[in-house]
């Protein structure tokens, strides 16, 4: 038996707890985690046999990330459509834009600080850019186009990696 944990809900409902995962691991079930709640739990429980997958797991495991708000987002509870952007995606999008010289390292820092200063349900590109528009100058239009067309969804990428890993390991 195999379980893959990608995401979870908190505030309105209880997230899967480390204790629940430990009980299932003790029963001999392989549990994989990636992307969001899965990455968090895997970084806490990999020493007990949970298998972590992806960059976000590696970042939590390595201490690069240490807060749940890095992966938190708000979503429409009926359609499950994201309303905000998780900080890990913002971080990676800004990094990619900087690497492609869309924005400078200084502008990158300003954008990230703007994003981090917002409460997670408020993290939307329009707000982040609005808070930073006076400092972006000529880069603003290019960055807007970049965000629209080339933003990074590292949570999605890690979720896909998890599914591929489970598929490989189950053969």
Q: Cα–Cα distance between 14 and 10 in angstroms, integer?
A: 6
User: How does residue 12 score in pLDDT terms, banded at 50, 70 and 90?
Assistant: low
pLDDT tens digits along 99-149 = 999 999 999 999 999 999 999 999 999 999 998 888 888 888 899 999 999
Q: What is the pTM of this model?
A: 0.91
66, 164 contact by CB (below 8 A): no
Structure tokens at 150: 């080339």
Q: Which of 98, 149, 99 is nearest to 125 (CA)?
A: 149
Range in 11-15, 74-78, 119-123, 163-167 with the lowest mean pLDDT:
11-15
Segments making up each domain of the chain, as ranges: 2-66+155-169, 87-153
Q: At what angle do helices 18-26 and 37-45 cross, to 10 degrees?
A: 60
Neighbours of 125 (CB within 10 A): 19
On the question of pLDDT at 46 being above 70, the answer is yes
């Amino acid at each position: 038996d195999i379980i893959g944990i990608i995401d979870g809900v908190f505030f309105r409902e209880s997230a899967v707890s480390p204790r629940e995962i430990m009980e299932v691991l003790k029963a001999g079930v392989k549990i994989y985690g990636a992307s969001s709640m899965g990455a968090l739990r895997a970084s806490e429980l990999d020493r007990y046999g949970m298998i972590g997958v992806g960059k976000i797991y590696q970042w939590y495991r390595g201490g690069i990330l240490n807060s749940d708000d890095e992966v938190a987002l708000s979503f429409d509870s009926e359609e499950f459509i994201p309303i905000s952007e998780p900080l890990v995606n913002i971080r990676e999008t800004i990094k990619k834009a900087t690497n492609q010289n869309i924005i400078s390292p200084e502008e990158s820092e300003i954008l990230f600080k703007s994003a981090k200063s917002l409460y997670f349900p408020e993290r939307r590109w329009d707000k982040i850019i609005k808070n930073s528009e006076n400092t972006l100058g000529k880069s603003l239009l290019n960055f807007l186009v970049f965000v629209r067309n080339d933003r990074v969804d590292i949570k999605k990428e890690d979720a896909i990696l998890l599914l591929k890993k489970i598929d490989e390991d189950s053969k």
